[in-house]
Amino acid sequence: MTIYQNIIGGNAVAGDMGTQPIYNPATGEQIAEVTLSSAAIVDQAVAAAQEALPGWANTPPLKRARVMFAYKELLEANLEKVAEAICTQHGKTLEDAKGEVIRGIEVVEFACGIPHLLRGDYTRNVGPAIDSYSDRQPLGVVAGITPFNFPAMVPMWMFPMAIACGNTFILKPSERDPAAPQLILELMQEAGLPAGVLNIVNGGKPAVDAILHHPSVKAVSFVGSTPIAEYVYQTGTANGKRVQALGGAKNHMVIMPDADMDQAVDALMGAGYGSAGERCMAISVAVPVGQDTADRLVEKLAPRVSGIKIGTWNDPDAEMGPLVTEQHKDKVLGYINKGVEEGANLVVDGRDFALQGYENGYFVGGTLFDHVTTDMTIYREEIFGPVVCVARADSFDQAVSMVNDHEYGNGTAIFTRDGDAARSYADQIQVGMVGVNVPIPVPVAYHSFGGWKRSLFGDHGAYGMEAVRFYTKLKTVTSRWPTGIRSGAQFNFPLNN
């Protein structure tokens, strides 16, 4: 059986804390194991990354970009293989997985522009015969800790830009689906990246804690659930590191009375149930404005939710697959039970769904609740499953307040034909990423990704120019060359006279 090892300095290195099983979510069968690592293994990875650092940091940006160009081509040539590595351990459908990889490749394409992105500023004559230039320099050894739901894309939000900026990198991927991270690292080595510039350490909390406490790790990027994001931010910053920690979400889609209801329902189906709801930008709450809008929405939505085609990743007709693990399935079922207990109206019940021939798989059917109120657990907490809650609002203002009062602020969308309503929504809403008639407004690679409130701890979002700022530190050099000017010792603050 395959055991996913660590990759340190280009070599496979076993962990020292045993292994953890990896399952096929469609069958419930164990298909592999992943090694688990302690602080001693993290030390080895940091040492390898530090050894590689001077050479890589001093490699001209154009040469670093050439590695990115080669990497992009290798990823494209291996798209199907990377997507299959995702599917077999995560469970999402093949087309969905390919989409994930393509969005990751787009960040690599952005990283190809690093010579231009790192170009500094220069001013001649900031004073008499004095010139000044600003430059962005790499931080050193940096680390990324990533979740199970995008095992290729989220690591690619991080390491291509970190490495292009001249840092060396340690990736601690999710221990639930290690195949894709390993494959994309191998392709990076094939692209010509020197050994030690990118390393993988597999493991759980002990490996994360070792990264957070290691004095030579200068910055940590984290993506995962909010409690762990907050812990990573607090622990990492207390240890003097720069940290960006992206957390969980509860994304609302507001549907105005004038919205094109067919378009809104199509959007809600894909954004709510695609990838079985295991997306941080999934729409998990629909907020129709007005009772009539709500009735029309639920009437159109319910048959669509009951009719979702559920299947294994390689079934070309499947619209969604299973959840990632049995524990996660139990958690999602627990939320559905809680919703019923707390009095929400269960319009479509996915709890008893079983796929013929795959009865041990971690499948949950599409589920729809109506008349969900803001005090209910299923409204307040992230479910991360194929469950959409309809929470009715009486007015636009009430819809805005609901979204703004929620602890999360990752993504949101408004569906309307009214430009004033759309503009006012985008202005007022306390959420980092807003869609107008766009259900999953994930910014493209040359913008940046990031939520507000308890969906992001730290000052910088992921990829785009935010990544250049996060993975570099600014240096400004002011220089004077001997010109025969002698002004004598100056004890006052230097002025530009």
Chain residues that interact with ligand NAD, rule: CB under 6 A:
145-150, 154, 172, 174-175, 204-205, 208, 223-225, 228, 246-249, 280, 382, 384, 410, 451, 455
- 181 vs 170: CA distance, rounded Å: 12
User: In terms of CB distance, is 160 or 451 closer to ligand NAD?
Assistant: 451
Sign (positive or negative) of CA dihedral 54, 60, 61, 62 = negative
CB of 357 to ligand NAD, least distance (A): 28
User: In terms of CB distance, is 384 or 415 closer to ligand NAD?
Assistant: 384
User: In terms of CB distance, is 197 or 201 closer to ligand NAD?
Assistant: 201
CB of 279 to ligand NAD, least distance (A): 7
Q: Are 198 and 173 within 8 A, CB to CB?
A: no
CB of 301 to ligand NAD, least distance (A): 23
Sign (positive or negative) of CA dihedral 111, 116, 119, 121 = negative
Q: Between β-strands 387-390 and 283-288, what pairing exists: parallel, antiparallel or unpaired?
A: parallel
Q: Which of 87, 112, 165, 280 is catalytic?
A: 280
For residue 280, indicate whether it is catalytic.
Answer: yes
User: In terms of CB distance, is 455 or 472 closer to ligand NAD?
Assistant: 455
136 bridge partner residues: 474
Burial class (CB in 10 A: 0-12, 13-18, 19+), 63: exposed
User: In terms of CB distance, is 53 or 324 closer to ligand NAD?
Assistant: 324
244 bridge partner residues: 221
CB of 6 to ligand NAD, least distance (A): 14
CB of 227 to ligand NAD, least distance (A): 7
CB of 235 to ligand NAD, least distance (A): 9
CB of 492 to ligand NAD, least distance (A): 50
CB of 290 to ligand NAD, least distance (A): 30
Total count of residues recorded for the chain: 497
Residue number with the shortest CB distance to ligand NAD? Answer: 224
User: In terms of CB distance, is 150 or 425 closer to ligand NAD?
Assistant: 150
Q: What are the tokens at 187?
A: 């392709």
Dihedral angle at the C-alpha atoms of 399, 404, 409, 413, nearest 10 degrees? 20
Catalytic residues: 280
